[in-house]
Amino acid sequence: MPQYQRLGEIPRKHHIWFHLNHGRPTYKNEGIAYEHVITTEGFNEAYSIMYHIRPPTRVRDIKLIKCEELKKVTDAPLRHHHLKSAHVPRQGDLYTGRIPMLFNQDMIAYRHKPAKTYGEFEYYRNGGADEIIFVFQGGGTLESPFGKLRYRAEDYIVIPRGITYRLVPDDVTKEDYLILESTGPVRIPSRYLNHQGQIRMGSPYSERDFHGPGELLTIDKDGDVEVLVKDGPRWTRVVHAHHPFDVVGWDGFVYPFTFNAQDFEPITGTVHQPPPIHQTFEIRGYVVCTFAPRLLDYHPEAVKIPWVHDNVEADEVLFYVRGNFGSRKGIEAGSITLHPRGIPHGPHPGTIMASKDAVRTEELAVMFDTEHTLELTEQAVALDDENYPKSWLD
């Protein structure tokens, strides 16, 4: 997580009596707030401590909804793919309408244009994976026990696993997301951190570019609240006996936060720089990179678009957000390309000469490179341009 944050009332030390102020009646009149530690990688890595009005363990009912493994398409050859995901149907609610496109053991990538805010559930929790919601279009508020967090277009919203949340979009019919679900934690690349844990100068962002919740909700309300809990392929209904957003204060390094792609400070060179300069997040089994608007290479003889390359140990995915994609033809905002291992890829014919006099690129794209092979779902294949592998012919 990017940095230490605190919000609301907290006691002066960990694990001491914490009497709620203002003579507030508390659960069973015990008079204290209930400490709730949320930890990562056992108790070894980042953690936060929340203080609830009622014990967060008060669950009234639990019921399995379904267990549904993702199915991969097995009869596709090894080839490049262009998934025209700008055309995914607007469907479902904010949690159940997500359309899986690509997946492996470490991650699932979804596209999602919700048709309505809520179906059966207003509240959702991913118990098995961290989520990155990249807001392609839209804006609104994410509510959680940590408080209210505003989000806007081109934000990465990072939600650590185990956190109950409710998305409150300004206008659900405008929302359009790329969602990455990770079995490993989402982290700042360790090479960007100094020995004190601060983001190094010269990194493509600083702590000031990350935004945590700004205002607590502290909902002091008894009565059932149903939460849809997903962990891997399993979906469970959990009925809490009171509102889970009853937190009076918290501190720590684990909380939902946003980082806007426009705040990514591009690193440029006289000649073409490789993708690691665009790295934004480090996750077990894959990386996320931001190709932000930037000055193109400025050596007088520089070829200004990428070289042909074989990514021999990675599958490479690009999600095109906006701008003119200098090295590609036939790509639109909202497109996804998958360039797997085993086949070279590079600039489309004519794009090298076309970029000769260009000084800047206004393109914005999100890339994720995975260590293990990505599988396509049926929904992805339905959006696939089957002529894309031959698009490098003159």
Instruction: Give the whole-angstrom CA distance, residue 340 versus residue 373.
Output: 8
The CB-of-359 to Fe ion minimum distance in angstroms stands at 23
Kindly write out the interface string for residues 306-325 of this chain, putting x where it contacts Fe ion by CB under 5 A and - elsewhere. Answer: ----------x---------
The residue among 68 and 310 lying less far from Fe ion, judged by its C-beta, is 310
- Cβ contacts of 297 within 8 Å, gap of 6 or more: 268, 269, 270, 271, 272, 273, 303, 304
Which residue number places its CB atom closest to Fe ion?
316
Least separation in angstroms between CB 102 and Fe ion:
16
For Cα atoms 310, 324, 362, give the angle at the middle one, nearest 5 degrees.
100
Shortest distance, position 299 Cβ to Fe ion, whole Å:
21
Q: Which amino acid is at 253?
A: F
If the CB atoms of residues 80 and 187 are measured against Fe ion, the closer one turns out to be 80
Binding mask 265-304 for Fe ion (x = CB under 5 A): ----------------------------------------
Q: How many residues touch Fe ion (CB under 5 A)?
A: 1
Distance in angstroms (rounded) separating the CA atoms of residues 345 and 331 = 15
Q: Residue 378: which H helix or E strand, with range?
A: helix 378-381
Q: How far is the CB of 266 from Fe ion (least distance, A)?
A: 17
> In angstroms, what is the C-alpha Rg of the chain?
22
Query: How many whole angstroms separate alpha carbon 279 and alpha carbon 297?
Result: 18
User: Cβ of residue 318: shortest distance to Fe ion, in angstroms?
Assistant: 8
Quick one: CA torsion of 326, 328, 331, 335, rounded to 10 degrees?
-100
What six digits make up the tokens of 74?
């097995």
| Nearer residue to Fe ion within complex by CB, 92 or 275 | 275
Residue 325 corresponds to which tokens in the numbers above?
């994609």
Look at the alpha carbons of 256, 101, 261, 274 in this order and tell me if their dihedral is positive or negative.
positive
Nearer to Fe ion, 316 or 363 (CB): 316
Token couple for 158: 């990072």
> How far is the CA of 111 from the CAs of 118, 134, 223, 302, in angstroms?
17, 10, 34, 36
Give the shortest CB-367-to-Fe ion separation in angstroms: 8
Of 143 and 316, CB closest to Fe ion: 316
Minimum distance between the CB of residue 232 and Fe ion, rounded to whole angstroms? Answer: 30
Instruction: Of 346, 356, 350, give the one whose Cα is nearest residue 300.
Output: 356
CB of 309 to Fe ion, least distance (A): 6
Q: Which is nearer to Fe ion, 181 or 316 (CB)?
A: 316
Closest approach, Cβ 180 to Fe ion, in A, equals 18
Phi and psi, residue 116, nearest 5°: -150, 165
Cβ proximity to Fe ion, 193 vs 352, nearer residue: 352
Burial track 115-132 (b if 16+ CB lie within 10 A, e otherwise): eebbeebbbbbbbbbbbb
**Residue among 80 and 98 whose Cβ is closer to Fe ion:** 80
User: Which residue's CB is nearer to Fe ion, number 154 or number 316?
Assistant: 316
Q: By the criterion CB under 5 A, which residues form the site for Fe ion? A: 316
